[in-house]
């Protein structure tokens, strides 16, 4: 099976300007899946490592609902026809409560009926991800498009026996506190230990009975799908921010903490800048790894100014 994917379609669910408190993004936009066999069920995660990921880029907790829907006639791509039923596409988990900067992930399951009339045809199915529950004035929704190419050759008897075996994604709860921090008057050209010089520590809370391990990475802002606001821009090099540990182990029913070091080169382009860094905490115990994004807002010293230790209020 081969696959290609393009960009997402984002739709606001309410008229007017959406406030900064609402935000939902996904890299799962238009996805083309080829060589699908009739009578087979496919896991997008297992076959091509492409689960449906949703990131809450807003400032408040949201409830999310995900459903497979029939595409409207005016939105069907040329050369395709609508699936006969929404049962062709489903998600492993259809609802989430998602805090700010957190990511939800669920497997997308494609089931092609065992019907010879489908051989060689192309179909479109849509996935509708949106906020629900009225937590905010504005709802936000994302419509993803699946373009399914059914192979013209019937499956062999052996292929028909290989049905997808359902495996639940580990439903493990955890908390990262805080999720944002901000510092000002940051000097250039030297390493700053943020724990000791700016009293910045990040707590990882594990309420589960089992041990959890988190991979900690400073990543490009674009990779997180978080959009910088309030005059900030993504840092040119995420490697300027260095986690104290690459993996943090948190025992069951306990709390661990970690911190960061920052070293921004002393160059004119970095003076008096408002930079956003994103740190990804990846839970390693889940079948589909999910991420929590920690945002660090940094304001560097202006040209000619003397560096101090003035903190900027957290976002």
Alpha-carbon gap, residue 266 to 186, rounded angstroms: 11
Buried-state track 279-308, b at ≥16 Cβ within 10 A, e below 16: bbbbbeeeebebbbbbbbbbbbbeeeeebe
Alpha-carbon gap, residue 233 to 216, rounded angstroms: 22
Residues ≥6 apart with Cβ < 8 Å to 297: 180, 181, 182, 183, 232, 274, 275, 276, 312, 314, 315
Structural tokens at position 216: 């900690």
Alpha-carbon gap, residue 277 to 194, rounded angstroms: 13
pLDDT at position 172 is 67
pLDDT at position 48 is 82
| CATH 3.30.530.20 given to domain 3-161 | no
pLDDT in tens, the chain (315 residues): 454 433 333 333 333 333 445 689 998 889 999 999 998 889 998 878 899 999 999 888 999 999 999 999 999 999 999 999 999 999 999 999 999 999 999 999 999 998 889 999 999 999 999 998 765 556 788 999 999 999 999 877 666 555 544 444 455 688 999 999 999 999 999 999 999 999 999 999 999 888 888 989 999 999 999 999 999 999 999 999 999 998 999 999 999 999 999 999 999 999 999 999 999 998 887 777 778 999 999 999 998 766 554 444 344
Q: Where are the alpha helices (DSSP H) in the chain?
A: 44-48, 157-161, 194-198, 221-224
**Cis before 101 (ω within 30):** no
CATH of 175-300, one of 2.60.40.10, 3.40.50.12660, 1.20.120.80, 3.40.50.150: 2.60.40.10
Domain regions of the chain by residue span: 3-161, 175-300
Residues ≥6 apart with Cβ < 8 Å to 176: 202, 203, 204, 205, 281, 292, 294
């Amino acid at each position: 099976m081969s696959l290609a994917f393009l960009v997402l379609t984002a739709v606001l669910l309410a008229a007017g300007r959406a406030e900064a408190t609402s935000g939902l993004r996904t890299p799962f936009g238009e996805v083309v899946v080829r060589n699908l066999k009739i009578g087979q069920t496919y896991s997008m995660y297992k076959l091509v490592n492409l689960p449906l990921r949703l990131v809450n880029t807003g400032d408040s907790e949201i409830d999310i609902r995900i459903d497979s829907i029939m595409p409207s006639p005016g939105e069907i791509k040329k050369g395709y026809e609508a699936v006969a039923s929404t049962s062709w596409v489903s998600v492993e988990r259809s609802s989430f409560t998602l805090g700010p900067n957190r990511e939800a992930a669920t497997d997308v399951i494609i089931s092609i009926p065992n019907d010879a009339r489908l051989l060689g045809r192309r179909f479109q199915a849509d996935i509708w991800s949106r906020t629900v529950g009225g937590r905010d004035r504005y709802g936000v929704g994302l419509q993803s498009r699946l373009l399914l190419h059914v192979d013209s050759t019937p499956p062999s008897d052996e292929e028909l026996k290989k049905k997808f075996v359902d495996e639940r994604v580990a439903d493990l709860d955890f908390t990262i506190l805080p999720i944002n921090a901000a510092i000002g008057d940051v000097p250039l050209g030297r390493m700053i230990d943020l724990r000791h010089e700016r009293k910045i520590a990040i707590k990882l809370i594990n309420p589960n009975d089992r041990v959890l391990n988190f991979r900690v990475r400073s990543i490009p802002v674009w990779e997180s799908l978080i959009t910088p606001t309030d005059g900030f821009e993504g840092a040119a090099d995420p490697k300027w921010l260095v986690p104290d540990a690459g993996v943090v182990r948190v025992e069951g029913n306990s709390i661990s903490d970690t911190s960061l070091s920052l070293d921004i080169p002393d160059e004119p382009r970095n003076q008096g800048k408002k930079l956003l860094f994103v740190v990804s905490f990846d839970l390693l115990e889940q079948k589909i790894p999910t991420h929590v994004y920690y945002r660090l807002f940094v304001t560097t010293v202006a040209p000619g100014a003397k560096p101090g230790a003035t903190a900027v209020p957290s976002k």
